[in-house]
Structure 1
Amino acid sequence: MNMDQRKQRRELSEEIRIIDKHGKGKGYKTISKQLAVPVTTFANIKKFKVHGTVANLPGHGHKRKIDPRLNRRIVRMVEKEPRITAKEMQAELQGEEQDIHRDKTLKMSCFSKKEGDSLLPAEENPELRIVLLGMVGVGKSFSGNTILGNDLFHSKRSLSAVTEKCQKEMRKINNQNVVVVDTPGLLNIDQTEEEIMREIKKSINLAEPGPHVFLIVLSVKERYTKKEEEMVKSIHDTFGKNTMDYTMVLFTNGEEGTKIEDFFSGNKNLHELIKKCKYGYHLLDSRPEQVPELLKKITDKVQAAEGRYYTAEMLQEAETALKTVH
């Protein structure tokens, strides 16, 4: 007799003793004390009274209206056209003998790449979580408003910090929940770096379970100097060795026709930063298609990374490593 069989035998013996004592008129609490078993175990007594057994019974509920053959056809349709909607699938499957109009399986059969995967609606993309980082006055809050398409973050051009606390906002864009967390500007003369970073760290919890991407915001109207390099180093030291695996450089204040490659190709240090950022770079200019292109670029990278995101545990590791250095 193997270990599983012995365990099942012990459990069955215990259940029989419980039922026997209950049959002799003893209450649940009394039996619990005598046999040293949790009171929750007595759910088996109720089960025995109803079904005459304590064995696991087959599940109940409505049977699926879609058979395996039709389900495979739905999966093939999704593989051929990943963005197909439930209504479009219903229209194409009208000739089928089975009732597909109210079967939730049809609505949940989109998004899967292969049969057996977790199925989500084709029109519903996974949530995207973004944290904005950068110096005072580069346009972080403006970028957040541009991405979400609304004036949710207080924004104005100023040499002093406009954003003093982390702020989280969310909006559904093209059937995708997009979360943006704005953070205080770095290298602010009114606060110490330690005070600013203490507040910026809160962005990780605000973007729980963690941000997919950090956007380091730089203005194309400002040169990338030693000051910006110090800002990037401060970000890296704070968030640790994994930082660049979840980072993109977002250039702001671009104008239509601006070739961003010309901007950074002549700056070796900026070029090196972009090469280290796994999410690459993007330019926000006046064109309306810039935001959809940015979100698609980030989403594609997230999908390629199998949905991975920066976590609170990574932040703790970075804090420990920083203490060790100092």
Structure 2
Amino acid sequence: MSSSAGVTSTCELQTTVLQDGKMLSVIDTPGLFDFSAEPEFIGKEIVKCINMAKDGIHAVLVVLSVRSRFSREEEAAVQSLRKFFGSKISDYMIVVFTGGDDLEENDETLEDYLGRDCPEPLKDTLEMCGDRYVLFNNKTKDESQKSAQLDILLSLVNEVVDKNDGKPYTDKLFVELKKGAMKLHDQTAEVNSSEGYSEQEISVLKQQFNKSYEEHLKRITEMVESKLKETTQRLEQQLAEEQAARLKAEANAQAAQVKSDDEIRQLREHLERAQRETEELRKQAVSGKCSIL
């Protein structure tokens, strides 16, 4: 939906079964690298997202809209994603463009949109993703179109899975969260299967296990927040340096233009003076006067 602020406020997991029997799980997230959000909130959402996908992520969908130009904020978000999770995450990324209905109204295709003054950062993003992208018409009522665009997306997901030999993306965060979850599961299962504890003792032990797991999550969240702040600071510094370099280049170009304009003006004045002198000499020659140069 159209909104001046993000529509998704927290991570949500939805699961469905495809026609071929495969289980598909999708985690919808808020803007995880939105500079306007507090690092503490983003850190908790990142941990929540990873906790929902303890076994790893098979594809990362970067959602953009054709209704607006690729902004500096979106460029920064993509860079933050790679800096936070590592450049390997690019092998799992697919760009999903929304707003296809707007292009259809203007009898345009996605290729028309991308070919019309496509900004270099967007070109770089698509290239980084292996040119894996798909356009979605969000308003269509045509079931065949809905099915077709979903098929394209799933084919790209399968392409990513094949490219990575079926191995999902994981890193230290995934490993640590999965380790904590497995420990909690094993401890709980052991207590449930034991006959040496009363119900009250089992309840107390489970509370202790859950508390231990919550402390484990808290430590990981703090680690994520620290890494996130570091990533954000580095990126903000990089963007500031790029902005300064761009302003300097523009200033140099402007100064060069002014210098060029001044040189052209001087040449024009010299030419006009030379033309006047030549015309004066011609008149003198016609009148029979002798001139010594």
Q: TM-score, normalised by structure 2?
A: 0.51
- Report what 1:284 is aligned to: 136
Whole-Å Cα distance in 1 between the matches of residues 227 and 39 of structure 2? 18
**Aligned AA for 2:122?**
L
Judged with a 3 Å threshold, the aligned counterparts in structure 2 of structure 1 residues 233 and 194 are, in CA distance, closer, same or farther, namely farther
The RMSD of aligned alpha carbons is 3.1
Judged with a 3 Å threshold, the aligned counterparts in structure 2 of structure 1 residues 261 and 314 are, in CA distance, closer, same or farther, namely farther
Report matched runs for 1:104-115 at 5 Å.
none
Larger helix proportion of the pair? 2
Judged with a 3 Å threshold, the aligned counterparts in structure 2 of structure 1 residues 201 and 237 are, in CA distance, closer, same or farther, namely farther
Whole-Å Cα distance in 1 between the matches of residues 88 and 124 of structure 2? 17
Q: Choose from 22, 45, 52 the match for 1:199.
A: 45
Deviation at 1:190, TM superposition (A): 6.7
The answer to whether structure 1 residue 264 and structure 2 residue 136 are counterparts is no
Q: Which runs of 4+ in 1 moved over 4 A?
A: 186-190, 314-326
- Listed as ranges, the gaps of 5+ residues in structure 2 are 177-222, 235-293
Whole-Å Cα distance in 1 between the matches of residues 69 and 2 of structure 2? 17
Whole-Å Cα distance in 2 between the matches of residues 210 and 252 of structure 1? 26
Judged with a 3 Å threshold, the aligned counterparts in structure 2 of structure 1 residues 186 and 221 are, in CA distance, closer, same or farther, namely farther
2:84–2:227 Cα contact (<8 Å) kept: no
Deviation at 1:280, TM superposition (A): 1.4
Q: SS state of the match for residue 178, structure 1?
A: strand
Identity %: 32
Report matched runs for 1:71-110 at 5 Å.
none
Judged with a 3 Å threshold, the aligned counterparts in structure 2 of structure 1 residues 308 and 212 are, in CA distance, closer, same or farther, namely same
Deviation at 1:162, TM superposition (A): 2.8
Whole-Å Cα distance in 2 between the matches of residues 303 and 282 of structure 1? 18
Larger radius of gyration: 2
1:246–1:278 Cα contact (<8 Å) kept: no
Q: TM-score, normalised by structure 1?
A: 0.46
Aligned length: 171
Whole-Å Cα distance in 1 between the matches of residues 78 and 37 of structure 2? 18
Whole-Å Cα distance in 1 between the matches of residues 108 and 175 of structure 2? 40
The answer to whether structure 1 residue 300 and structure 2 residue 159 are counterparts is yes
- Report what 2:81 is aligned to: 235
1:249–1:281 Cα contact (<8 Å) kept: yes
- Listed as ranges, the gaps of 5+ residues in structure 1 are 1-155
Deviation at 1:300, TM superposition (A): 2.9
Judged with a 3 Å threshold, the aligned counterparts in structure 2 of structure 1 residues 188 and 304 are, in CA distance, closer, same or farther, namely closer
Deviation at 1:182, TM superposition (A): 0.5
Q: SS state of the match for residue 78, structure 2?
A: helix
Whole-Å Cα distance in 1 between the matches of residues 71 and 36 of structure 2? 21
1:217–1:251 Cα contact (<8 Å) kept: yes
Q: SS state of the match for residue 242, structure 1?
A: helix
